[in-house]
Structure 1
Amino acid sequence: MGKASNRKRARKDGAKIEGYSLIGPGVTTYTAEDGAADLVAIEKDRARFHAAPWLVSYERAPEPGELRAATPPGCDLVSVHVVKVLPGVRHRIPIFRSIGKHEVN
């Protein structure tokens, strides 16, 4: 396994992404709106763990636009499980639901 770093990296198309991100299959871009939505969620998670330092994990509804680039085609992000790895280090685990053909608009 490779080591994740928190530095700017250039993607194949030349765009720069700050930090670590997941780009799911079928998604070709990670937009500024994606980054803003993820940052809002990360800040709310930080505040939640700061207010309740005894918490180890919790599950919450996703923020609008959160993890859009990591959402596989034909799926919907229904919740996010957030785990405290170390103080100040959190891991977000997305929970997806498959959308059947009859549900797609």
Structure 2
Amino acid sequence: MSDEHGPWQVVEYEGFEIHAAPFAKDPHESEPHRPPGPYTYVGYVCHPGADPVIPGHAVPFHADGEETFATSQDALSEAIHVGRSIVDGTHPDLSVLPLVTGGV
């Protein structure tokens, strides 16, 4: 899997920032004529201006297992959707509650 992420997108939502980046799981570097893909994503949710490197300042997330998308835009859209579910409290595993209660 490639470590290079596409351009990070930042979406402000309900007082938080959702940072998300799509990237090609299989960049086909040996075959430059093939388009990259399939795509997946990484991201995190934080308060505006927070430093995500500092523990407790962000809630990181990524696509589950082998989940892939046909285009980088599809991956990015799903990442933003997941980030919103974290902020809304509807994500089954992740929450912004530690960011709120920790005063960060």
Normalised by the size of structure 2, how large is the TM-score? Answer: 0.29
Kindly indicate whether structure 1 or structure 2 has the higher relative contact order, using CA contacts under 8 Å at least 6 residues apart: 2
Normalised by the size of structure 1, how large is the TM-score? Answer: 0.28
